[in-house]
Amino acid sequence: MRRGLLIAVVVAVTAVCAPAALATTTQTASNGAVTATFTFSGHYPNYSALHLQIAQSGSVLYDAAVHSKVCGKYCAPGATGTKASSVQVIDLDDIGQPNVILSLYTGGAHCCFVQQIFTFDPGTMTYGVVQHDFGDPGTRIEDLNHDGHHEFVTADDRFAYAFTDYAASGLPLQILTFTGSGLEDVTDSYPALIRKDAATWLKAFKQLDHGHDIDSTGVIAAWAADEYRLGKVAAANRYLVAQAKAGHLKTPVASVEPQGMKFVAKLKTFLRRHGY
């Protein structure tokens, strides 16, 4: 084969074998004069070139690659596997200047959804960012009081694996609000929602007990957290002691995690340590 023909064949084979360029996805959200454009390449689980641009009245004020210390080397769009957008533009605190909220996913088992909140700084004429790791539960943004102020409705991921495996762990309700510099826990301001959450966990506990399930400590821990928030500490402790004496607070990994009265003691310490 002549040299020129060999080169032509090699080039042709290389062209056939070369991977196709990764498709770019563009997601856009707007509110008033603010428009956010989020782009990325690839598909689950392989993403790259995550980028966010924010403009006001057509003028670009923020234009940068997306990074998060929580993600480490890997960040994916937070709306992975759904038709929902990973970017929203919402006036979180009803001041007439919308925030841009970018949802990211870190990958891995039972982890982790991160929200990056971008706020306009008139002093620098660009956007500053704060972020919060919502762990496995993720979050949804709602105006719970219908007053223009939005809340992040989630669950307390600190309860995951605290008393049993993840599948049997109960994660009590948690509601956060944006302060401008971070997120503040305001769950105590929503007693009706706490009571509803507590009822869900108590029902789950009774169903487990009725079915003679030996993995009940996780869900009763979430119930106790809700009751503590409602100020029913003494009543919750009495119920826990009664259930322990009746042999209902069990775990299949008793050699690793305490059950019965030892579980009650550990739970009370855990709740105090985490501000319940």
Q: Which residue matches tokens 């670009």?
A: 60
Contact yes or no for 224/271 (Cβ under 8 A): yes
> Which pTM does this prediction carry?
0.87
Question: How far is residue 227's CA from residue 237's CA, in Å, rounded to a whole number?
Answer: 10
pLDDT digits (tens, 9 = 90+) for 60-112: 999 999 999 888 778 899 986 667 899 999 999 999 999 999 999 998 777 78
pLDDT digits (tens, 9 = 90+) for 14-37: 333 334 456 889 999 999 999 999
Question: How far is residue 166's CA from residue 263's CA, in Å, rounded to a whole number?
Answer: 17
- 65 forms bridges with which residues in the sheet? 51
